[in-house]
Chain A
Amino acid sequence: MNGGDEQHERAIEPGFEFISPRFEEPKFPMHQVWGYAASLVLTFAALWMTVNRIMSPSVLLGVVLAMAVGQAALQLGVFMHVRESRGPAWHLVPLGLAFAIGIGLVGMSAWIMLFKSGVS
C-alpha cells in the first residue's frame, strides 16, 4: 500500500508541469455554480445566434462548434477535476490524444465530403 507514496513523492520533470496533480476543495461549490451558469450562457448564445442567423451559415457553424469546445473544456476543468490524480496526471496524455484523433477523424471526414465529384 505504501509503494505508491514513493512514486507520489517523485518530482515532476521540467517540461511536464502540465501533468502535475491539483486538488481544490472549497467550502462552497462556487466553481460548480459558475461552471453551470457559463454552460447555460454558452448554450443560449449558440441557440440565439443560430435561430437569428447572425452570420453566414458556414462561419456560424464554426463559431457554435468553438463554443461547444469551450463547454467541453468547462466540463473537464470545472466538473471532472481533470487535474486530480494521486501522482502525475498521466491520463491527460491519452485523453488529449483521443480528442486529437477524434477531431481529425470528424474534421477530415467532413472535409473529404466537400469534394462532390467521385464520391456518392
Chain B
Amino acid sequence: MSSQALHGGHKTPPQELPPEFQDQEESIKITGFWMFIVTDVLIFASLFATYAVFVNRIASGPTPAQVFQLNTALIETLILLTSSFTIGIAIWAMRQNRQRMVTWWMVLTVLLGMAFVSIELTEFAGDVAAGWGWHTSAFLSAFFLLVAAHGTHVTMGIIWAVALLFQLRKRGLTTVTRRKLYTFSLYWHFLDIMWVFIFTVVYLGGRLI
C-alpha cells in the first residue's frame, strides 16, 4: 500500500474511526462546525482590533489599570482553563464508551462555566456601580463589547451543554449525541482560547500600556 507511507503510518481504516467520524453525515457536520469556528475567529478578531484602537481613548473615564483587578481575572482564567480540561476528559471518556463518566465531567464543566459567568457579571456590575458604564468612554465601550461577547458565548455554551446532558440521559451515547458532544467540546475549547487572549491583551495588557 503506497498510501501508507504518505500517511506516515497514521492511516486509519474507516471501521476503526470513532463513531462520530465513521458516519459520513455526522463527520460532515463536524467539518461544518469547524467552519463556524473559523467565522467566530474573525468576529473576535474584529472585536480585538476595535479594543486595540480604542484602549487609549479614555475620555474623562478611568484608565485600564484603574478598572481591572488582576486577581479577579486570574480566578476567571483558572476556572475556564479547568473547565477546558474537564470537557477534554469528558471527550476522552466518550471515546472509552463510559457514559456515566461523560455525564459527570460534563456537569462539572457546566458548573465551572456558571461560576465563570457569575464572577464576570459581578465584575461588570461593580464597574457600572462605580460609574464606569459602557457609555463612559470608547475604551469602556470596546472593553464591554469584547468581554461581554465572550461571556454571551459562554452563556450559550452552558445552555447547549445542559440540553446535551438531557439528550445524553434520554438517548445514551449514540452516533448523533457523540457528534454533538464533540462539537460542543470544540466550541468550549475555542472559547477558552479567546479568553486566554482576553486575559493577556485586556487584563495583563492593561498593566503594560
| Residues of A near any B CB (own CB < 8 A) | 1, 3-5, 8-14, 17, 20-23, 25, 29, 32, 35-36, 39-40, 43, 46-47, 50-51, 57-58, 60-61, 64-65, 67-68, 71-72, 75-76, 78-81, 84-86, 90-91, 94-95, 97-99, 101-103, 105-106, 109-110, 113
Contacts A/B (CB < 8 Å), 12 sampled: A20-B8, A20-B11, A29-B89, A36-B81, A43-B74, A43-B78, A78-B88, A80-B186, A86-B17, A86-B24, A99-B41, A110-B49
Least CB separation from B40: chain A residue: A98
Is there contact, CB below 8 Å, between A109 and B53?
A: yes
On chain A, the residues within 8 Å of B6 by CB distance are 11-14, 17, 20
Is there contact, CB below 8 Å, between B200 and A68?
A: yes
Given that A50-B207, A105-B45 are known contacts, is A86 also in contact with B193, CB under 8 Å in the complex?
no
Stretch at the interface among B29-37, B112-120, B163-171: B29-37
Is there contact, CB below 8 Å, between B88 and A29?
A: yes
Q: Mark B16-51, 1 if CB is under 8 A from A, else 0.
A: 011001111001000100110111011011101110
Is there contact, CB below 8 Å, between A79 and B21?
A: no
The 9 closest A-B pairs by CB, nearest first: A102-B45, A11-B3, A91-B34, A4-B24, A109-B49, A36-B85, A86-B27, A68-B200, A98-B41
In the bound assembly, the distance between CA atoms of A61 and B64 in angstroms comes to 15
Is there contact, CB below 8 Å, between B77 and A43?
A: yes
Is there contact, CB below 8 Å, between A95 and B49?
A: no
B131 located at the interface, meaning its Cβ lies under 8 Å from any Cβ of chain A in the complex: no
CB distance from B161 to the nearest CB of A (A): 16
B197 located at the interface, meaning its Cβ lies under 8 Å from any Cβ of chain A in the complex: yes
CB distance from A93 to the nearest CB of B (A): 10
CB distance from B100 to the nearest CB of A (A): 16
Q: Mark B66-81, 1 if CB is under 8 A from A, else 0.
A: 0000100010011001
Given that A65-B200, A86-B24 are known contacts, is A101 also in contact with B42, CB under 8 Å in the complex?
yes
> Given A32, A85, A90, which contacts B85 in the complex, CB threshold below 8 Å?
A32
